[in-house]
Amino acid sequence: MRPLGGNPLIAEGDYHYARRQEGRVGARASQREISMSISSYDTASQAPDTAEARWKLARALYFKASYTGLDADAQKALYEKARRAGDEAISIVQRRTSGSDISGDADAAASYFWSAVAWGQWALLAGKLESAKTGVADKIRAYATSVIGIDPTFEEGGGYRILGRLHDQAPWIPFLTGWVSREEAIKNLRLAVATNGENFVNRLFLAEALASGSSAEAKEAVAILERLVADGPSPTHLVEDLNIQEDARKDLAQWKK
C-alpha cells in the first residue's frame, strides 16, 4: 500500500525507493523501481521551496548511479544531477532558517549529507586531483562538518564517515588541501564505527584506512573485514550491503597476497 499524507509525489517516490531492491540480480539492482522513485522526486522538486524532494532526489540518483550497473559516463551524469539537487536543498534550508541555527530544520542534516555524497562520488569519477584543485574537497569537508554539527548520529554516523573517508582519500596539496590528515581519517572513521558498529560502510572505510598503517593496524583491518563478510546484510539496505561485502572480499584478496 502506498503511504498517505504529505506531498503525494514525495510519498510516491518514497514508496518506490523502499522497493529499490526488487528485481535485483545478486548485488546489482534493477533500474525499474529506483527510476520510478527518481521520476516522482524530480517532479516534486519543481516546487520552489521543497528541500525534502531535492535531497531525496539526490539520494535516489546516487543509488541508481552506484548500484544498477551503469557505465562511468552515465554514473557521472547522475551524480552531477544529484549534486545540483543537494545544493538546491541546502540553499532552501539556509534561506528558510535565515542564518539562524539550522539544526532545528528537519531537512538540514539530510540535505548536507546527500549533497556531500553526490559531490564525493562525482569527484571520484572526475579525478581526485582535479577535484581537489577546484575546491570540491573543501566543499565536501564543509558539508560533512555541518552534518556532524547538526546530528552526529545521522545516517549511522554519516558525517564522521564522509569526513574520515575524505581525509583518507583526498590528495594532500600544499595551500589547497593541507588539512588532509591520516590521523583525522582514522579518528573520524573510528567515531563513525563508535556511532554504529553494525554499519557495513563504516567498517569498510575504517579497515581501508587502517590497512596502509602499521602491522597492528593492518591486522586490525583484516579482522574487521573478515567479520564484515561473515555478517548478514541488512534487509533494508540489502543491495548496498551486498556491494560492500563484494568490496571487502576484493580488499581481503589483495591484502593477503
- Domain at 5, CATH number: 1.25.40
What pLDDT digit, counting tens, does each position of 43-92 carry? 999 999 999 999 999 999 999 999 999 999 999 999 999 999 999 999 99
Number of structural domains in the chain: 1
Contacts of 180 (CB under 8 A, 6+ apart): 137, 166, 167, 170, 171, 172
Contacts of 100 (CB under 8 A, 6+ apart): none
Q: Which domain holds residue 58?
A: 1-125
Task: Answer yes or no: is 27 within a domain.
Answer: yes
**Where does the pLDDT of residue 243 fall: very low under 50, low under 70, confident under 90, or very high at 90 and above?**
very high
Q: Give the pLDDT score at 4.
A: 44
Contacts of 190 (CB under 8 A, 6+ apart): 164, 206
Query: What's the one-letter identity of residue 69?
Result: G
Task: Answer yes or no: is 187 within a domain.
Answer: no
- Asked if the model's pLDDT at residue 235 lies above 60, the reply is yes
Segment among 11-15, 133-137, 207-211 with least mean pLDDT: 133-137
Task: Answer yes or no: is 104 within a domain.
Answer: yes
Task: Answer yes or no: is 111 within a domain.
Answer: yes
Segment among 2-6, 110-114, 115-119, 191-195 with least mean pLDDT: 2-6
pTM: 0.95
